[in-house]
Structure 1
Amino acid sequence: MSEINKLKILNDPIYGFISITNPLVYDLIQHPYFQRLRRISQMGMTYLVYPGAHHTRFHHALGCMHIMQKTVAVLRFKGVDISDEEENALCIAILLHDIGHGPFSHAMEHSIVENVSHESISLLFMDRLNEIFDGQLSLAIKIFRGQYHRKFMLQLISSQLDMDRMDYLKRDSFYSGVAEGNINSERLIQMLNVQDDMLVIEEKGIYSVEKFLVARRLMYWQAYLHKTSVAAELMLTKVLKRAKQLTQQGISLECSRPLKFFMENHISLEDFDNTILDTFSRLDDFDVISAIKEWQYHDDYVLAELCRMIINRDLPKIKLHAQKVSKEEVVRLRLQLMERTGLTEKDAAYFVYRGTIKNQAYNKKEEPIHILKKDGTIEDVAEASDQLNLKALSKPVTKYYLCYPKSLNF
């Protein structure tokens, strides 16, 4: 009986051919925990704004692994010593960095489970896979946790110029059609180097970094923080909040068993064991969408109306303001809705609400993007750049939103 060929070549619309050159990587991709990422959308509800944005976390993870392979090859060419074991660990760590995402990626983070980030759940999955694969992921986990002595390896996985950001900007720009988000990842990778155990960009690559940061800012305003995307994702979290509230009151809701489990139980990070992790691994976009399709006909007006609005893309009006929206304005709109529908003030809050969104392309307080100058000195990109707008990009911009049904008078 012939064995499966685990050395595969995949075709990707962004990079062309992606190679799986290691049997362990193949086995990890084939595992049900990872295959689940095919059913987790990369950009949440953004497809309601950009119809092409239906790509998944599976696409993104493979793309990250591919550019990690390219980066290791470039660094080795420049004399950076990276062993085969370290290369394998880097590829595994970036491949699995998003494995803990829940349905619709960021849209439902902290709501399926109680205040638990996807990074924490990713680590739980990695630890579990390490048990299944007899400790072969130990070095990858060590790098991912920042516990490995070679600091630049963590920067490749998690920093302000990491493989994650390089892939998602290029990929999300491609699928959404937002051309302003496109970056030259090939050029950025070619300019990478390591100095004093730090990841640096050679000075001649500074304009590519500037383009990268500008693209990131524009993608946030035009795609990730597009006001209609924000409104849809807020509605999605409110659907789950209402469903949880009704379930806690003993009202039975039709949905899949994994979703029902997380609605009936308050699960924190400390509660996760292998059984709960397996239950979480069976939860994806399809559970949520099928539940919403069913719940739009429920007797509870709030749940049914929220679900109907999502299914039919009858989204609320969302207005952005430079100043914080007054509480009085929110109360006025809620009273208007209460008069029309007979809702209580508490229930009206599901339809009229305010909040904030923030966009910061570059954070100087975090570990900076280091530019390696020709004289061997290292400088923060915001200082090294001759573009004044980079300093502006490092300042956070806050906008305030107000959501309310379109039928109300603002």
Structure 2
Amino acid sequence: MRILLAPDSFKEAASAEAIAQAMARGIKRGDPQAECRLLPLSDGGEGFTHALVHATGGTLHDVETVDAVGRPIIAQFGFLGNKHTSRTAVVELASASGLEQVSPADRDPMAASTFGTGLLIRAAIDAGADRIVLGLGGSATTDGGTGLAHAFGFRFLDAHDSDIPLGGGALVDLARIDDSRVSDSIKNVPIVLACDVTNPLTGPEGAAHVFAPQKGATATQVELLDQGLANLARAIMQYNGRDIEHTPGAGAAGGTGGGMLGLFNATVKPGIELVLNLAHGREACAWADVVITGEGSIDSQTPYGKVPSGIAKLAQSQGKPTIAIGGTITRDPHTVEALNETGIIATFGIAPGPADLTTLIANTERNVEITCAAIASTLRITAATSPCESA
């Protein structure tokens, strides 16, 4: 049996590569004769750069930059391989400006900035990139991408023509945008935003209200951040006439999607579709008899643009079934039905029993291995006992 192992990362527990390796160990335990192909994936968040570099035989590059609260860190960008005609660099916002880079005690939703991601993209361009693929996901920020833009020379000024501080909290004082220090060549570099959400920039479904509480924002701070993003939208409209406030995807990564669409030569594409295309997902599904995927939580969001549903739809189009595993699994009937419609025929939780979260996270790879061993054994037995057609 040929099994394609195509997971996302299990957030705050293990990378997509580590999960795929654990899956493979489990499959071999359950069915030593099984053939495995590993295809670690990402929908734009953590692991996005590694997934595309791994899939295309590209290269990784270390860069000195800063995290969302301004502390020095080393982050990475990658160049795609496979003889791409353009010199395409891959950057994930989570690498420099991600929530996982900042402990809960150090998170600052009002001052957190994407400046470090801007430095990372600048390094890629300085290294020869003529096209950027930017994964939006896992951010610790709600600054509308203004920190990123600041790294390229954009200035964000108050009513007195003074620079406002970095961070989403300062956007309530934004009066105008100045680009006199930004070269046209930078503004014209094509940037593809890999995004798995369709949220607008502002409002009840916008970046601040939906995502900022996950980054530590209080109810009062959420309202101020939302006001700031609305102010940014007005300033961009005044700057170049682009209306970003209600554009689907503008709310991604704390509004970075909107800022990029408003200030750069950027376009949005669904993250998982972009990854599957570059990683030759169709060919991988054609090879396989069955696909096993997974992510940290199989829940109501999974059927809509997440890795498990993306690979399942592709496999389903070729008549191949998909099994999904997760740290937690929903049994909500509506979600289960939506998962089935994407091509996921069964879901399995990896938790062996009641345990505290810290213990479960520490044992993620082991639990993935055990779960996949059981799945492989079941598939092997099912294949061996399938009734033959009667004469």
For the criterion TM > 0.5, the same-fold answer is no
Larger radius of gyration: 1
* TM-score, with structure 2 as normaliser: 0.28
* TM-score, with structure 1 as normaliser: 0.27
